[in-house]
Amino acid sequence: MKILTGNGRVRPATPILTPAFAEASAGKLSAASSCFRTRSLKGRGRLGKALGKVATAILMLGLSAGIALAADPEAGKVVALRGGVTIARGGSSVEAKVKSPILAHDTVKTGAAARAKLLFIDDSVLTLGEKSQLVVQEFIHEKGKIGTSIYNLLDGKMRSVVGKTKFEVKTPTAVASARGTIIFFDVGQHNNQAFSKIICLEGKVEVRSILPGITGSVLLTPGHMVVVKGGEAPPPPAPAPKSELDNARQATSQSGTSGDGGSSGGSSAGSSTGTGTGSDNPVTLPPPPPPPPPATPTKVNVNITIPTGAR
């Protein structure tokens, strides 16, 4: 509507604010305000979600890095080797060298005529003979506390100088547990039957079957051995012949290896606490008692009186 003013000009008519008009105008304003608030909340929601995703990604990255660092800690290192030695880790295999780190869950393999000497942070020293395969199944070490180390000797020969830890070696047929001990293992097959020969060189070793259903265990003392066959309980221990001790020394001899050749987990040779030098000489069994000294001859004076008439 237009209104003609006194000076001849035309101006728009002022709209009359009726109740219906006011209600319609308020509805439009309310709808506009609601739309604005909805869009504002949606914008803040999108921004919050984006920031949440960034924070979650950063947190997961940090946790993944922490888990990766803590999953497989360094348990030891290679201190001497001879011939072909490999370390399998995470689906790949690398050639072992002196000072190569050994991590939890690593598998160490030696080839023909090869040797590997491993020094662990708990002072344990493991020497592998040729064609041997060892898995570091579990290794827990805390400063000032007694740790736990569990190994799987799948095949071959190994000489172990046990350090300050709860030490356990699993084979296809047996489980040997010890602490502060020197042990020799020979794992293989004879007539298509798996066997594990275990010789205690120092300290004490408890041996049981690898099968949970087979109960009973035997205790080995220095100079005694046991052969555990697959599916059988350990037989009573028997004295180890000199030939077996010599074989144990030769199978893990470090002559001709590269590396320190004499590094080990301690200073006192062959101590019962497992901090011995881990030398390659077999244990010296106590000598038999010396024979009693020969009887000292006793001097006897004999006086013979000859009658006078007998001359």
Give the residue, 28 or 206, on which the prediction is more confident.
Answer: 206
Residues 248-281 pLDDT 10s: 989 988 776 666 544 444 333 333 333 333 334 4
Same domain, 53 and 81: no
> 127 and 262 in contact (C-beta within 8 Å)?
no
- The CA distance from 285 to 306, in Å, is 62
In the prediction, which pLDDT does 101 show?
A: 97
- The CA distance from 77 to 126, in Å, is 11
Same domain, 36 and 98: no
User: Which helix (H) or strand (E) covers residue 44, if one does?
Assistant: helix 19-71
Same domain, 35 and 83: no
- The CA distance from 157 to 307, in Å, is 85
For the beta carbon of residue 292, count every other beta carbon within 10 angstroms: 6
* The model's pTM: 0.63
Same domain, 20 and 129: no
Residues 235-249 pLDDT 10s: 999 999 999 999 998
Same domain, 107 and 234: yes
Same domain, 201 and 56: no
In the prediction, which pLDDT does 201 show?
A: 95
Give the residue, 257 or 224, on which the prediction is more confident.
Answer: 224
Please say which residue of 5, 36, 71 terminates a domain.
71
Same domain, 53 and 165: no
Does residue 83 sit within a domain? yes
Give the residue, 283 or 39, on which the prediction is more confident.
Answer: 39
Same domain, 167 and 124: yes
Does residue 25 sit within a domain? yes
Residue 76, beta-bridge partner list: 102, 120
> 171 and 205 in contact (C-beta within 8 Å)?
no
Same domain, 20 and 128: no
> 64 and 79 in contact (C-beta within 8 Å)?
no
Same domain, 63 and 122: no
The residue to which tokens 């020799």 are assigned: 184
Does residue 270 sit within a domain? no
Give me the DSSP letters along 170-194: E-SSEEEEESS-EEEEEEEEETTEE
Residues 96-155 pLDDT 10s: 999 999 999 999 999 999 999 999 998 999 999 999 999 999 998 877 777 889 999 999
Tell me how many domains the chain contains.
Answer: 2
Same domain, 83 and 157: yes
Does residue 249 sit within a domain? yes
- The CA distance from 293 to 239, in Å, is 29
The residue to which tokens 């555990």 are assigned: 228
Residues 178-216 pLDDT 10s: 988 999 999 999 999 999 999 999 999 999 999 999 999
Same domain, 33 and 57: yes
Q: At 79, which CATH number?
A: 2.60.120.1440
Of 174, 181, 61, give the one whose Cα is nearest residue 125.
Answer: 181
Domain, as residue range, for 127: 73-255
- The CA distance from 294 to 112, in Å, is 54
Which residues, including other chains, have CB under 8 Å from residue 306's CB and lie 6 or more apart? none
Rg of the chain on CA atoms, in Å: 42
Does residue 302 sit within a domain? no
Please say which residue of 205, 240, 255 terminates a domain.
255
- The CA distance from 54 to 301, in Å, is 114
Q: Is the pLDDT of residue 307 over 80?
A: no
Does residue 194 sit within a domain? yes
Amino acid present at 31 = A
> 72 and 105 in contact (C-beta within 8 Å)?
yes
> 134 and 120 in contact (C-beta within 8 Å)?
no
Please say which residue of 42, 71, 100 terminates a domain.
71
